[in-house]
């Protein structure tokens, strides 16, 4: 009989569980006890409450193999009993599904499409707040869905349905000009990447280039970061910058910046899809290849 080498380490199965719904007592215990009952070890737990809305993310590891289908089914039964909306995310080596959210600026989307073959993922759907970029998606053969609903809750309900339909693993905000609420963001912890036109935490908000121009900054940068419920305050993934000449117009600054935005967003997506990013204590640690 062959013996297992003493130094051999069993590979862990890691499952992420998100729970969102109306806040009330006992929710944390219900889901953590479920994880323990299945032989899981809780490695991460984050929970938040905003205006009566509860959100929790559990990361559970298993030293033994588990039946993924049965586990997911039992989670859904538990969520139904507790009147919560729950989903699971399994870290696998299989190709991940990507959703790109857009409004009307095309450069980030075009850059992603031009380089999509270099990504370890499948661009499954493009979602727009309007139909301006629909023709680009159509030319690339990617499904395009326009959600022009002005009511944020109704719009996000549709977004949730689309992401479930396409089994989305990663969401890239390619100059998506709507603020996502905790009800959506909490469902995709550290799986929504945004690009911001400044070296955060400086110049937050939509008018970063105008602020940089007015302040006469000598270097302007862009920041890719994970999205949290706090605007432009999520863990920073990657930053880059370019020099500004005092004679540059605001349009010239914008042109340089938008090109760098697209490159920086693509780089962050690539690192995420290669499983090179790990968030610890609100900081992103980049693993070597």
Catalytically active residues, by annotation: 232
> How many whole angstroms separate alpha carbon 181 and alpha carbon 209?
25
Contacts of residue 72, Cβ cutoff 8 Å, sequence gap at least 6: 88
Give the separation between CA 141 and CA 121, rounded to whole angstroms: 16
Both tokens assigned to 148: 């022009």
Sign of CA dihedral 31, 55, 271, 114: positive
Contacts of 39 (CB under 8 A, 6+ apart): 62, 63, 64, 66
Residues forming beta bridges with residue 18, ordered by sequence position: 57, 87
DSSP type of residue 11 = P
Which tokens is 66 given? 């588990």
User: Do residues 240 and 221 touch, judged by C-beta distance below 8 A?
Assistant: yes
Cα(13)–Cα(226) distance, rounded to whole angstroms?
24
Q: Report whether 61 contacts 40 (CB < 8 A).
A: yes
């Amino acid at each position: 009989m062959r013996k297992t080498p003493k130094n051999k380490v069993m590979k862990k199965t890691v499952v992420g569980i998100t729970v969102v719904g109306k806040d009330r007592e006992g929710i944390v215990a219900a889901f953590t006890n479920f994880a323990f009952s299945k032989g899981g070890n809780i490695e991460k737990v984050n929970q938040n409450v905003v205006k009566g809305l509860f959100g929790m993310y559990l990361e559970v590891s298993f030293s033994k193999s588990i039946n993924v289908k049965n586990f997911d089914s039992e989670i859904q039964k538990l969520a139904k009993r507790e009147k919560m909306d729950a989903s699971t995310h399994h870290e696998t080596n299989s190709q991940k599904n990507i959703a790109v959210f857009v409004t009307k600026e095309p450069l980030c989307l075009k850059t992603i499409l031009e380089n999509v073959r270099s990504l370890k993922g499948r661009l499954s759907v493009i979602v727009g707040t309007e139909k301006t970029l629909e023709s680009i998606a159509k030319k690339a053969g990617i499904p395009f869905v326009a959600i022009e609903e002005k009511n944020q809750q109704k719009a996000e309900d549709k977004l949730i349905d689309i992401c479930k339909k396409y089994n989305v693993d990663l969401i890239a905000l390619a100059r998506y000009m709507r603020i996502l609420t905790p009800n959506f963001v909490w469902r995709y912890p550290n799986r929504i990447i945004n690009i911001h036109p400044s070296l955060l935490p400086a110049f937050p908000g939509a008018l970063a280039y105008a602020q940089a121009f007015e302040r006469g900054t000598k270097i302007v940068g862009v920041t890719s970061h994970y999205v949290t419920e706090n605007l432009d305050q999520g863990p920073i993934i990657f930053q880059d910058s370019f020099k500004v000449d005092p004679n540059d117009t605001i349009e010239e600054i914008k042109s340089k910046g938008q090109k760098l935005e697209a490159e920086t967003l693509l780089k962050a997506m690539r690192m995420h899809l290669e499983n090179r990013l790990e968030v610890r204590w609100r900081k992103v640690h980049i693993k070597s290849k």
